[in-house]
Structure 1
Amino acid sequence: MTSPSENPVLSLSDAALSLDGNAGRIEILHAISLDVNRGETLGLVGPSGSGKSSLLMLMGGLERATAGRVTSLGHNLSEMSEDALARFRRNHMGVVFQSFHLIPTMTALENVATPLELAGHRDAFDRARDELDRVGLAARADHYPSQLSGGEQQRVALARAVAPKPDILLADEPTGNLDSTTGAQIIELLFDLRAAHGATLVLVTHDPAVADRCDRVLRLRDGRIDSGQAGAAA
């Protein structure tokens, strides 16, 4: 278990999220307060529609809290412009989705190198090759996403997420589109990469076995952290 930190990597204070829909305002998250410590692995679990992915999006600044505060590495994400948020994610966060979100017209190598190039790294392609080798895809570097299996595409997505050596790694059901065997391999790789880069990992999952690998697990229900976990959420 990771020891408490006085300076959490992520901190949410009464954070809420509501969105406008055809039927009016929809309340998605309610007064979420929690800290995530440096180097910690945190699993987010709960039934479909409980708000797990929405909470992850708040942590990554991909959704803006409509109330409360979301702080990452000392920066209030709610007060940052879209451009500043994009730069912050580029420099400090890696995000892995259930869908791979690879650029179809780019090779595996180019997909991994692109965020490094945007960040101004002159050795972008060398670092990208190293990460592809780390995920076992050195021989597939020049292949396009359409030429790769689902598991291979997710390996490329993982390599792209960790190549900039992010402080925070956010993963939203990264095995959701994969068979169980391939999914298990991806989870093993995800935890190995997190450890190798020393990143803090927040992982949304439906799989209890995956959640059990995390230092801490939070269960969401109806947009709230289960009251029985109130102590663990602080």
Structure 2
Amino acid sequence: MSGSSSQPLVELDEVHLKLASQAGPVNVLAGVSLSVAEGETVGVVGPSGSGKSSLLMVIGGLERASAGRVMVAGQDFGRLDEDSLARLRRESLGIVFQNFHLIPTMSALENVAVPLELAGRPDAFERAREELDAVGLAHRLDHRPGQLSGGEQQRVALARAFVIRPHLLLADEPTGNLDRATGQAVIELLFARHRELGTALILVTHDLDLAGRCSRVVHMQDGRLS
């Protein structure tokens, strides 16, 4: 992976996010500063509504900060248009959600190949096959999401996130829809791929034990980190 070791992979400086609501504007993030090094793992914990998922959305370029500075992989998000943000996500960021977000009409293989196809990679399906094999789903390549268990769907989502060899993986409650045993298997896989590929990880979770597996844990309350 490229990048200077002296420069953080993620750097947030006094980031605010204000969103509209029926009751008026809500300060979802209220001056968040955070620095994450390449290869580092950070657990983000806090009560529901504290801003954890919004923090990931801002780091992933899916929400625009209302104020402050967001730097990821050497790119200042404030200077990037939507196409440039999409390109950066395609090349540097993997994102795993609680609800899988797989395309229901596509097979597991096709779902994992999507980001590589969008990037114009001629080896998209070969790479997708290898990544599904790495998460133990070589026998499920042609199955659509509706034919897979929840744990299998999340493993497909992990494969899709890791197939681009991202600098950074954002995981938002990745075990939230899984039973404990299945969730544990998914987490073991996530951390194994992180170690193998050297990917930095920011993990949002309600599970303090899970967060404790990260090299650092930060707490979010009322849109602020501590």
Range class of TM-score, shorter chain: over 0.9
Show the 5 A alignment for 1:194-205: 194-205=194-205
Cα deviations by residue, 1:19-41 (Å, 9 ceiling, x for unpaired):
01111111111111111001000
1:79 Cα deviation after fit: 2.2
Which one-letter code corresponds to 1:87 in the other structure? R
1:16 Cα deviation after fit: 0.5
Match of 1:230 in 2: none
1:201 Cα deviation after fit: 0.4
Which one-letter code corresponds to 1:117 in the other structure? E
- What stretches of structure 2 of length at least 5 have no aligned partner? none
Which one-letter code corresponds to 2:191 in the other structure? F
* 2:148 is the alignment partner of 1:144: no
Query: Aligned equivalents of 1:225 and 1:114: distance in 2?
Result: 34
RMSD: 0.8
Match of 2:95 in 1: 95
Show the 5 A alignment for 1:35-74: 35-74=35-74
- What stretches of structure 1 of length at least 5 have no aligned partner? 227-234
Report the secondary structure of 1:99's partner residue.
coil
Match of 1:115 in 2: 115
Which one-letter code corresponds to 1:152 in the other structure? E
Match of 1:212 in 2: 212
Match of 1:128 in 2: 128
Structure 1 ranges of 4+ moved more than 2 A: none
Match of 1:232 in 2: none
Aligned residues: 222
Match of 2:6 in 1: 6
Match of 1:23 in 2: 23
Match of 1:229 in 2: none
Match of 1:187 in 2: 187
Which one-letter code corresponds to 1:158 in the other structure? L
TM-score by length of 2: 0.97
Query: Aligned equivalents of 1:75 and 1:217: distance in 2?
Result: 25
Which one-letter code corresponds to 1:64 in the other structure? R
Match of 1:231 in 2: none
